[in-house]
């Protein structure tokens, strides 16, 4: 296999992996939805909270903000857990 074909194949694999993660910008998401429906992994979300005061919190108690399709950040603690909306939209902390 030629070098350019190998580079192209690796690029295609990397691009495909990145394209799998998707979320609607400006929406907030519970971790379970990001993992189950949006292509993120637990490791992805743990990386977001690494080095913050939320690092020791269970992911189910963290609300993530979608900054760009495939990029989440601005984690927020939901002490009572996270609540999924009835339709597509921002999630919130459980009451």
Please state the length of the chain.
Answer: 95
For the chain, what are the domain ranges?
Answer: 22-93
Confidence check: pLDDT of 19 > 80: no
Q: What is the pLDDT of residues 28-52, one digit of tens each?
A: 999 999 999 999 999 999 999 999 9
**Spatial separation of the C-alpha atoms in residues 39 and 20, rounded to whole Å:** 5
Note the pLDDT of residue 2. 52
pLDDT in tens, 61-86: 999 999 999 999 999 999 999 988 87
Alpha-carbon span 35 to 78, nearest angstrom: 17
Q: What is the mean pLDDT of residues 17-30?
A: 84
Q: How far is the C-alpha of 56 from the C-alpha of 1, rounded, in Å?
A: 46
More confident residue, 27 or 86: 27
């Amino acid at each position: 296999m030629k070098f350019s074909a190998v580079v192209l194949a690796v690029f295609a694999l990397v691009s495909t992996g990145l394209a799998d993660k998707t979320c609607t910008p400006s929406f907030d998401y519970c971790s379970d939805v990001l993992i189950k429906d949006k292509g993120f992994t637990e490791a992805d979300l743990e990386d977001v909270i690494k080095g913050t005061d939320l690092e020791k919190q269970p992911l189910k108690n963290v609300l993530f903000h979608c900054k760009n399709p495939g990029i989440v950040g601005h984690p927020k603690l939901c002490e009572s857990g996270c609540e999924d909306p009835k339709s597509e939209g921002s999630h919130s902390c459980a009451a």
